Structure 1
């Protein structure tokens, strides 16, 4: 089953997931702030590490502009904790092991990898506004350079 892709103005599907410390984080709990929700395939892989480090390096300035950042992957919380420690990450890492949240954002499904069509996590980023609506939806983003582009798209540079 594939969900239709989200677009600006759509309500952001709410979720509650476990972070790398075992605490629960829900999107609705962040109402009143802008939230960058990004989905990535796997902790500790080169592209995902680069992307997470870029978000971490940008986190203070994003927070200063009123944004929270949530990184979501199918990894278990224990692996996310190792990822945070190894890379000194400062953003919130959430575990979506059954990929239900990814599916609700259409961030899991068919994608092309090395010329083959496979089922997997579609590297995607969403900006959710203070009311819980999608402000920006970007699918198939590049791991490298994405945060800089996102900052430009949000008028933060």
Structure 2
């Protein structure tokens, strides 16, 4: 399990394929603020709720200078199905080997119904214009999370 990121840390760089197989890099967003969120699996209830909440608030977020990138271990084909089925507008990228999730401390031990296993820890990071972590939120809940982020950002 990797170290958790703190405010002021440099955000780990990444280049991952989006739902259409195009490469998306954190560095291509330099000069803009980016919300990078990690979720366990496309097309599941909690992850759908969270992605729809980000989509519903995307205009507000982009208007305030924030881009939004959702990261999951799903393959691009599944992300495309997820995007199309739910009419999502956020950028979804695939991290099937979980290296980016590990770099952000968003992959590790989880407990559910008394079982312990390794998995994606639902987490959100606000990266500033200079590529530094402004906020690192771990173990967030899918429901109400986007509203909390918006409130924390003062939007």
The TM tier, using the shorter chain, reads: over 0.9
Please name the residue that 1:3 is paired with: 2
Alpha carbon RMSD of aligned pairs, Å?
0.5
Please name the residue that 1:146 is paired with: 145
Please name the residue that 1:129 is paired with: 128
Q: What TM-score, normalized by structure 1, do the two folds share?
A: 0.98
Please name the residue that 2:57 is paired with: 58
Q: Give the CA deviation at 1:115.
A: 2.5
Q: Mind listing any 5+ residue stretches in structure 1 that lack a counterpart?
A: none
Alignment of 1:43-122 (within 5 A): 43-122=42-121
Q: Mind listing any 5+ residue stretches in structure 2 that lack a counterpart?
A: none
Return the alpha-carbon distance in structure 1 between the equivalents of residues 39 and 102 of structure 2. 13
Q: Give the CA deviation at 1:113.
A: 1.3
Q: What TM-score, normalized by structure 2, do the two folds share?
A: 0.99
Q: Look up the SS of the partner of 2:130 in the other structure.
A: coil
Q: Which runs of 4+ in 1 moved over 6 A?
A: none
Q: Look up the SS of the partner of 1:151 in the other structure.
A: helix
